[in-house]
Amino acid sequence: MVHLSSPSALRPFLKWAGGKRQLIPELLKYVPEFGGQYYEPFIGGGALLLTLQPERATISDRNAELINCYQVVKDAVEDLIQTLQQHRNEAAYFYEVRSWDRHSDFATKTAVQRAARVIFLNKTCYNGLFRVNSKGQFNAPFGRYKNPTIANETVLRKVSAYLNQANVTIRQADFATTMAAAGRGDFVYFDPPYDPVSTTASFTGYYRNGFDRTEQQRLKAVVDELTQCGCQVLLSNAYTDFIQDLYRDYRCVRVSANRAINSNATKRGKVDEILVMNY
């Protein structure tokens, strides 16, 4: 049984577009007590997982590099830290490491090397944004930070300890595939790529293949199925007319969240989001 008097929250080891660290106080108001398994099929930075620290969890994402990071943090955190300590906050070096996924020998890199690359780029790129182009190649520019913490040993070790002490399954999978195993008494948190708030505001560049409104509708059908089988579901999304209409039969709450990741500085700050619940 998960109660909301969880141990002190762990910090995410990655800054992720749409990450929920700023929204955690609001989310916790609506997280139910549950006796089953916790599921988070769009894991991202994992802020809610690391706050709740459930004893049984399944986390997943379609992003292979992201899932590899979690697996390496769980299985080889000391090797990861050692490798991260070898990376340098220099522009030429940054672009050299960024270019790895443009070469055929990228497939020969070890899991630890790939995970360290993602964390290094995340800590040193502009605005800490995991962003890829249409070919799935990392394309955020160098951030020019004076002294970023590339290897946060304390955070990495604490997250690794949780992933090992709890029963946490880590999968690279589509959300529908992950949710096929969920049942009565389980709790699911969906934090998909958000519906764009305007025709020009697309926040899905970090997510290869995009997540359009057809995908949003497919996700809603999974929410319906989970509701019928007795799962408790909480979902975050942008407060748009499309999402409000899509989930009109569910309990919906409007909340404000701080958004730090946007290429346009004037668009950072408070934005409206929607929380959808089936309980």
Q: What is the pLDDT of residues 160-212, one digit of tens each?
A: 999 999 999 999 999 999 999 999 999 999 999 999 987 554 444 444 457 89
Strand partners, 252: 276
Residue type at 78?
E
Q: Which has the minimum average pLDDT: 16-20, 67-71, 234-238?
A: 16-20
Topology of the domain comprising 68-151: Adenine-specific Methyltransferase; domain 2 (1.10.1020)
What is the Cα–Cα distance from 50 to 14, expressed in whole angstroms?
12
Give percent above pLDDT 90 in the chain.
78
Q: Where are the domains of the chain?
A: 21-63+154-277, 68-151
- pLDDT over 50 (residue 93): yes
Phi/psi at 13 (5° precision): -90, -5
CATH topology of domain 21-63+154-277: Rossmann fold (3.40.50)
Tell me: the pLDDT tens digits for 98-129? 999 999 999 999 999 999 999 999 999 998 87
DSSP category for residue 102: G
- 166 close to 54: Cβ distance less than 8 angstroms: yes
DSSP reduced 3-state for 250 = coil
